[in-house]
Amino acid sequence: MSKNGLLILIAAVAAFGGLLFGYDTGVINGAQFYLTKNFELSSGMKGWVVSSALLGCLVGALAAGPLTNRLGRKFSLILAAALFTISAWGSGLPSFLPQEVWLLVVFRILGGLGIGLASMAAPTYIAEIAPKEKRGVLVTFYQLAVVTGFFVVFLATYFIGSGNTEEQNIATGWRWMFWSELIPCSLFFILTFFIPRSPRWLISVGKEEEAMKVLKSINNDQAAQAEFDEIKLSLVKKELVETKKINLFQSAVLPIIIIGSVLSLFQQFTGINAVLYYGGDIFEKALGFTSEDVLQQQILLGGVNFVFTFLAMFTVDRLGRKPLIYIGGFGMISGFLLLGGTLFFEQVGLLSLIGVLLFIGAFAMSMGPVTWVMLSEMFPNKIRSAGMSIAVAIQWLGNFFVSQTFPVVAESKVNEEGIWNNSLPYLIFIVFIAGLMIFTYKYLIETKGKSLEELEGIWAKRYGEIKE
């Protein structure tokens, strides 16, 4: 196999963590549509069942920093795969387990721990192993894997659901939807044992010979040596593993962490996961689709999400990160204006569906992949694990907030019976998307074509050198 082929294969295996991220978070869309009826859940409790996994994601992301430093990125991914597997099995509530909502929530939280860990470890691993000229597209593999996971799980839930009556889906169909995840979980768990460890992590813990071997396996000797020397210049042994030496509140560090965290928060406040988690409810209650059509419409969502992520992969290293955010921002606002406008004026129909799909496509080509690319690039080596961990944790906190509150707002009397005609949630999301575009213009730096060490220098010029 060529060095370039090996690099792509390694990145693809690491990105498999993103596929399980998408699969695990997407499976709740189809499953909750039926388990809500099985357990007769209120809107608040439904929000809790859906969003409970996100608390696990929050904890997993916070723990990811010290875990990836101590265990390395590779073994953190192995641990995440194990958590995914346990969660997928338990979420279906086998017959010998108590058939209680609280137990389902426990297993969903365990899966969330795996998602949180993988969501930090996978893009960090890819960014650290990829050459700078290919880093954007390779890190985008992660987001492609996420949307692939959504698309595959929407297909799986459709075929499981369409093979049963609605009564059967309410009783047992949702369990098989959760259990279908065991197949990709097992594959990911096996494959992660065969990828190398991150060369930057290896150098940080003093394993320089192994790091050089990894670099030479994916680069020519000259390029490997050049990258090795560049990493050595920016790292002192144990700097990455002993982040407690770095004061995260110093003026050279705190602004970077805040910028990364706000970027993460804006990604969630676009409303993407409200659409992906509650797509079934949106299609049935707001747009008037029958329950038989709901799973089919989810496949359409997943398909658009999947296709437009490819567009991001081909443009992120050409157009740059910030231009994609601007283009995607206008697209997302246009999509929600169509959806919200047709709801407000009670003209629900084809334009409403086009609005949803336009929003999904615009997000998939912009904030979906670009957020992960920029988070994996923007933090200086000395604070990368801590900064990435905090930013990803904030992202999951925002995800939890949106997922918990969306069904409450969407099913409120103010939204359903007031002047808003079910459009209020989407108008709120439009405000946040506009805020994202202003924030991008004022605070984000373009990372296209720059090495991780070059980016560290740019931050140092803006906020000063990081002190230990």
Looking at residue 357, what is its pLDDT? 93
pLDDT in tens, the chain (468 residues): 688 888 888 888 998 888 998 898 788 877 888 898 899 888 788 888 888 888 888 888 888 878 888 888 899 999 999 999 999 999 999 988 888 999 999 999 999 999 889 888 888 888 888 877 777 778 778 878 888 898 898 899 888 988 888 899 999 999 999 999 999 999 999 999 999 998 888 988 888 899 999 888 888 888 888 888 888 876 654 444 444 567 888 888 999 999 999 999 999 999 998 887 777 677 776 666 665 666 677 788 888 988 998 888 888 888 999 999 999 999 999 999 999 999 999 888 888 889 999 999 999 999 988 998 899 888 987 788 788 888 988 988 898 899 889 988 988 999 988 789 989 999 999 999 999 999 999 999 998 888 877 888 899 999 988 876
Looking at residue 262, what is its pLDDT? 97
Looking at residue 346, what is its pLDDT? 86
Looking at residue 44, what is its pLDDT? 81
Looking at residue 344, what is its pLDDT? 92
What are the pLDDT digits (tens) for 134-149? Answer: 777 787 788 788 888 9
What are the pLDDT digits (tens) for 279-318? Answer: 767 777 666 666 566 667 778 888 898 899 888 888 888 8
Cβ-in-10-Å burial (0-12, 13-18, 19+) of 198 comes to buried
CA distance 41 to 213: 55
CA distance 29 to 277: 5
- Domains of the chain (ranges, CATH numbers): 3-463 (1.20.1250.20)
Per-chain mean pLDDT for the chain? 87
Q: Are 456 and 231 in contact (CB under 8 A)?
A: no
Looking at residue 330, what is its pLDDT? 98
CA distance 63 to 68: 8
Looking at residue 290, what is its pLDDT? 61
Q: Which residues of 395-432 are buried (b: 16+ CB within 10 A; e: fewer)?
A: bbbbbbebbbbbbebbbeeebeeeebbbbbbbbbbbeb
Looking at residue 28, what is its pLDDT? 84
